[in-house]
Amino acid sequence: MAPSRFLLFVIVFNLSLLCVVQCNPDYRDALAKSILFFQGQRSGRLPPQDISWRGSSGLSDGSLAGVDLTGGYYDAGDNVKFNLPMAYTATLLSWSVIENSRKLGPQLPAARAAIRWATDYLLKCARATPGRLYVGVGDPNADHKCWERPEDMDTARTVYYVTPASPGSDVAGETAAALAAASIVFRKVDEGYSRLLLSTAKDVLQFATQHRGSYSDFLGSSVCPFYCSYSGYTDELIWGAGWLFTATNETYYLDLLKSVGPGDGTDIFSWDNKFAGAHVLLARRNLVNNDETFGAYRQKAEDFMCKILPNSPSTTTKYTAGGLMYKMGSSNLQYVTSITFLLTTYSKYMAKANHTFTCGNLVVTPDTLRNLARRQVDYILGDNPLKMSYMVGYGSNYPKRIHHRGSSLPSIAVHSQEMGCESGFQPYYYGSSPNPNTLTGAVVGGPDQNDFFPDERGDYSHSEPTTYTNAALVGCLASFAGKS
Ligand SMILES: *[C@@H]1O[C@H](CO)[C@@H](O)[C@H](O)[C@H]1NC(C)=O
Ligand SMILES: *[C@@H]1O[C@H](CO)[C@@H](O)[C@H](O)[C@H]1NC(C)=O
C-alpha cells in the first residue's frame, strides 16, 4: 500500500471508529444497563441478582409502626425510602413500558421486574393500615449524617404516613398514578396482580381527592427540603385521575378531571411537577382518539413543547454550548430525561395522528421532537465536549466517583465486618480513589452549564444518581433501540 493511501486508510478507519463511539450509540446496551441499575437501589430481602455487591437491607422497615414495609427503592445515593419520588419512578417506568413494550424486546421482563419491586412496596404502604397511607421509611436527617452501606444502616427507620386529618394529596395522587399505570403493564401478564393494583389505585386516589392537603405541611423536615411538594398537589390530582382514566375509561375520573381543570402551563417535568406529563398523557385522547374533550390538554402539551424547543419563539429553555438541555444546576439530567421522555412520547402520538403544530412561525413535526430527544440521549451517552458518558458502565469514559453510599464503600461480599455511621467518610468518601463497586447503568446529575464534569464524590449536584432520572431514560432508550 502506498504511504498516502495507507494514511488515508488510517484516517478513514479512525473516523469510522469515532463514529461508532459518537454517531451511533449502542442504545440496546444502554437500555439493558439503565434497567439493571434498579437492582443496585433495592431495599428489602434480595434474591440472587446481577448486581451482586449489594445485599439485603432494611429488613425491619415498618416495625416501628407494627407493619411490614420492607422492599422498595432507595431514591438516590442514600438509604432512605421516599415514596413521592419512588412512586413517580414507578409511574415513569410503567409509562415507558406501555409506550414501548415491543421496542423493549428482550428487556421487557427486566423492566416489569423493576416496576414490581416498587409497586409491591407501594401496595404494602397503601394496604397495611386502614385510614393511613405510609409515605416513607428512614429518618433522612439521621441518614444524611452517615456514610454507610445500606446493609449496615443503623439510623432510625422512622415510619411516615398521611391520614385524613394530616393528608397528602400530592404523595397519594402520585401513588395512585403509579399503581394505575402499573396495572396496565401487568394486565396481560398477571391479571390478579393487575386487578389488585387497580383497586388499590382507586382507593388511594379517593383518599387524595377527599382529604386535600400537601404532605409537606404535615411532615415538615422529614420530607423537606428533600422531596418537598413545591408545586402543590393539583398536578398530582390531575396526574392520578389521568392515569386512572387511562386504566379504566370510567366517567368518574373524567368528571374528576373536569372538576380540577387542565392545570398550569409549565416548562418542567419532574418528581415534583407533573402538569406537563398529564397534558401529554391526556393529549393522546385528542390526537389519537379524536376526542374533543381533551383539546385543552393537547394545547397545553404543545405550549409546553414550544417552551422546550430551542428554535421556538416562546422557548424558556437554555442549552449548553454542547447541546444539552439545561434546566437547573442541581441534578440537571433528571429534568433532561423526564422532558426527553415527553418529547419521544408526544412525537409518537403526533406521528400516529399525522399531526403537526406551530410555535409562532416554527413548524413542529414528529421528527422535530424526536431529533431533539435523540440529541439529548446521545449527549448523555457520550456525544458531548468531554466525550464522557454520564451512564456508569457504558462506554469507557464514565463517572468513577459517584455520590452513592453502596457503590463507594467496600461490598459486604468482600468486607463482611460491620461499618458504622461515620466509618465510611475516611478514606472512602473524602478519598480520591474510584468507587470500588460499579453501579452499572446509573445516570448521574450530569455536567454543569459549561459542559464540564468534575467527577467528585462530594459533588452530589453532579455526581449523584437517582431512580427517577433512570426511569424516564428507560423509555427514551427503548424508543431509539427498538425497531417499532
Ligand atoms: C379506553 O378508551 C380508549 C378510546 O376509545 C381505548 O382506546 C382504550 O383501549 C380504552 N381503555 C380501556 C381500559 O378500556
Ligand atoms: C398527513 O398530512 C399531510 C399534510 O397535512 C398530508 O399531505 C398527508 O396526505 C397526510 N398523510 C396521511 C397518511 O394521512
**Closest residue by CA, ligand 1 atom 1:** 249
Ligand nearest to the CA of 352: 2
Q: pLDDT tens, position by position, for the chain (484 residues)?
A: 444 555 555 554 554 455 444 457 999 999 999 999 999 999 999 999 999 999 999 999 999 999 999 999 999 999 999 999 999 999 999 999 999 999 999 999 999 999 999 999 999 999 999 999 999 999 999 999 999 999 999 999 999 999 999 999 999 999 999 999 999 999 999 999 999 999 999 999 999 999 999 999 999 999 999 999 999 999 999 999 999 999 999 999 999 999 999 999 999 999 999 999 999 999 999 999 999 999 999 999 999 999 999 999 999 999 999 999 999 999 999 999 999 999 999 999 999 999 999 999 999 999 999 999 999 999 999 999 999 999 999 999 999 999 999 999 999 999 999 999 999 999 999 999 999 999 999 999 999 999 999 999 999 999 999 999 999 999 999 999 986 5
**Closest residue by CA, ligand 1 atom 5:** 289
**Closest residue by CA, ligand 1 atom 4:** 289
Tens of pLDDT, residue by residue over 392-423, are 999 999 999 999 999 999 999 999 999 999 99
Residue 2 lies in a domain: no
Ligand nearest to the CA of 244: 1
Residue 387 lies in a domain: yes
Cα 296 to middle of ligand 1, angstroms? 19
Cα 243 to middle of ligand 1, angstroms? 12
Residue 16 lies in a domain: no
Give the whole-angstrom CA distance, residue 219 versus residue 40: 28
Burial of 6 (0-12, 13-18, 19+ CB in 10 A): exposed
Q: CB of 289 closer than 6 A to ligand 1?
A: yes
Cα 247 to middle of ligand 1, angstroms? 8
Ligand nearest to the CA of 293: 1
Cα 132 to middle of ligand 2, angstroms? 52
What is the model's pTM? Answer: 0.94
Query: Could you tell me if 315 and 247 are in contact, meaning their C-beta atoms sit under 8 angstroms apart?
Result: no
Structural domain harbouring 253: 25-481
Q: CB of 249 closer than 6 A to ligand 1?
A: yes
Residue 5 lies in a domain: no
Count: domains in the chain: 1
Residue 477 lies in a domain: yes
Residue 3 lies in a domain: no
Among 184, 197, 249, which is best to mutate for testing ligand 1, by the most ligand atoms less than 8 A from CB?
Answer: 249
Tens of pLDDT, residue by residue over 216-258, are 999 999 999 999 999 999 999 999 999 999 999 999 999 999 9
* Nearest-atom index, ligand 1, CA of 184: 13
Cα 196 to middle of ligand 1, angstroms? 20
**Closest residue by CA, ligand 1 atom 7:** 289
Q: Return the number of other C-beta atoms located less than 10 Å from residue 27's C-beta.
A: 21
| Mean of the per-residue pLDDT values of the chain | 95
* Nearest-atom index, ligand 1, CA of 291: 4
Residue 449 lies in a domain: yes
Residue 12 lies in a domain: no
Ligand nearest to the CA of 246: 1
What CATH number corresponds to the domain at position 341? 1.50.10.10
Distances (CA, A) of 442 to 97, 114, 149, 324: 19, 14, 17, 18
* Nearest-atom index, ligand 1, CA of 247: 13
Tens of pLDDT, residue by residue over 152-185, are 999 999 999 999 999 999 999 999 999 999 999 9
**Closest residue by CA, ligand 1 atom 2:** 249
For the record, the C-alpha cell of 392 comes out as 456508569
Query: Would you please indicate which residues are annotated as catalytic (active-site) residues?
Result: 403, 455, 464
Cα 354 to middle of ligand 2, angstroms? 6
